[in-house]
Amino acid sequence: MAQAVNGVVAAGRGAKVTVETILVPDPGPGEALVKVQACGVCHTDLHYREGGINDEFPFLLGHEAAGVVEAVGDGVTDLEPGDFVILNWRAVCGACRSCLRGRPQYCFNTHNAAQPMTLQDGTPLSPALGIGAFAEKTLVHSGQCTKVNPKAPAEVAGLLGCGVMAGIGAAINTGGVTRGDSVAVLGCGGVGDAAIAGARLAGARTIIAVDLDDTKLRWAERFGATHTINAREQDVVEAIRELTEGNGADVVIDAVGRPETFQQAFYARDHAGLAVLVGVPTPDMSLELPLIDVFSRGGAVKSSWYGDCLPSRDFPMLIDLYLQGRLDLGAFVSETIGLGDVEKAFEDMHHGRVLRSVVVL
């Protein structure tokens, strides 16, 4: 039988979100019912509300979450009720061409729950990134649940479900940052600061934070930035070169996702350096670069989707680093809020007043 719980719903493009009663079915084959304990407020949820992802309204928002498995469906053998899990939106299939080539982090056929969650009148809900975790309980595919050490508080563990993993992974997995590297990060919100934290974990020698806001630059220093650049006051490319002996950085990570910032990333890297795009552009954006510059500068340009992470590998490792005191996940949490505060959290996030608001249930 379906359970009635509270959840945050975006009914239409640009409409304010509301807390509604939603119906969550019992798990079917391969599915898991999760009691959500905490869920971060991510820009992607705002993109859903604004219709920037697709038009499949109404949406059940929330995806950056942790909680406890309450029940599992037939065929689920690697989870049981009581397991503490982080939810992920890359439940690898194990059978697509990428998985079969040993690259499951690029899986082309990730899983979601088959049964819909609905409003009370039966209207199907589209769960954000196949999760829908601004809710007291949610139904997901069992592969979307990654077991981690339950000693980690849910409000910090859940952040690995999206933004923090995207940033750390952009530095370590996609960017391949290693000891002695110079790294520049454009945009010092949650993803950018996570990229800075990842670069520090990897042993980068120089970590340059770039933003338009001095408050965000001070946040970046907490995560390991050795230098800061206010892009309103300095030419970003020239400033990065000055801080890297005139060469440019080994790895430049664009955590903004705009044509102008990616051009800065492209030109601010050293010859044969790497530019990584992890900020999410909108569908209408386009990029123009002189082809001779692409040819003559060498190196590579990469996009980083979910930090090229493999949840089963990366989530437990990062939680262990947190518990060892080597990764300050708690520093990402600006405030904890309730389900009814999500609309205000969107406003605060839009104006850069918070790094992460986290819904605690």
Q: Tell me the β-bridge partners of 147.
A: 85
For CA atoms 282, 285, 290, 291, the dihedral sign is: positive
> So what's the pLDDT on residue 352?
87
Q: Give the count of beta carbons closer than 10 Å to the beta carbon of residue 203.
A: 11
Question: Mean pLDDT over all residues of the chain?
Answer: 96
Q: Tell me the β-bridge partners of 5.
A: 22
Q: What is the pLDDT of residues 130-143, one digit of tens each?
A: 999 999 999 999 99
Q: Do the domains 167-305 and 3-161+328-360 match in fold?
A: no
- CA 275, CA 284: separation in Å to the nearest integer? 21
Cis peptide before 58 (omega within 30 of 0): yes
Q: What is the pLDDT of residues 151-194, one digit of tens each?
A: 999 999 999 999 999 999 999 999 999 999 999 999 999 999 99
Of residues 154, 6, 8, the one with CA closest to residue 86:
154
- CA 138, CA 133: separation in Å to the nearest integer? 6
Q: What is the pLDDT of residues 187-212, one digit of tens each?
A: 999 999 999 999 999 999 999 999 99
Domain 3-161+328-360 is in which class? alpha beta
Say whether pLDDT at 17 is over 90: yes
> So what's the pLDDT on residue 30?
97
- CA 330, CA 333: separation in Å to the nearest integer? 6
Per-residue pLDDT band at 110 (split at 50, 70, 90): confident
Domain range summary for the chain, segments of one domain joined by +: 3-161+328-360, 167-305
Buried/exposed 271-292: b ≥16 CB within 10 Å, e otherwise = eebbbbbbbbbeeeeeeeeeee
Q: What is the pLDDT of residues 310-348, one digit of tens each?
A: 999 999 999 999 999 999 999 999 999 999 999 999 999
- CA 357, CA 361: separation in Å to the nearest integer? 13
- CA 185, CA 221: separation in Å to the nearest integer? 12
- CA 147, CA 294: separation in Å to the nearest integer? 42
Place of tokens 């910090």: 156
- CA 19, CA 343: separation in Å to the nearest integer? 10
**What CATH number does domain 167-305 carry, 3.40.50.720, 3.20.20.330, 3.40.50.1000, 3.40.50.300?**
3.40.50.720
What is the rounded average pLDDT of the residues 224-246?
A: 98
Instruction: Report CA-CA distances (Å) from 30 to 66, 114, 129, 141.
Output: 19, 9, 18, 6
Say whether pLDDT at 216 is over 90: yes
- CA 223, CA 214: separation in Å to the nearest integer? 15
Q: Comparing 23-32, 97-106, 136-145, which segment has the lowest mean pLDDT? A: 97-106
Say how many Å lie between the first and final Cα of the chain, rounded: 22
- φ, ψ for residue 50 (rounded to 5)? -85, 0
Say whether pLDDT at 283 is over 90: no
One DSSP character per residue, 106-152 reads G-SS----SSPPEETT-PBPEEGGGT--SBSEEEEEGGGEEE--TTS
What is the share, in percent, of the chain residues with pLDDT greater than 70? 100
Q: Give the count of beta carbons closer than 10 Å to the beta carbon of residue 52.
A: 14
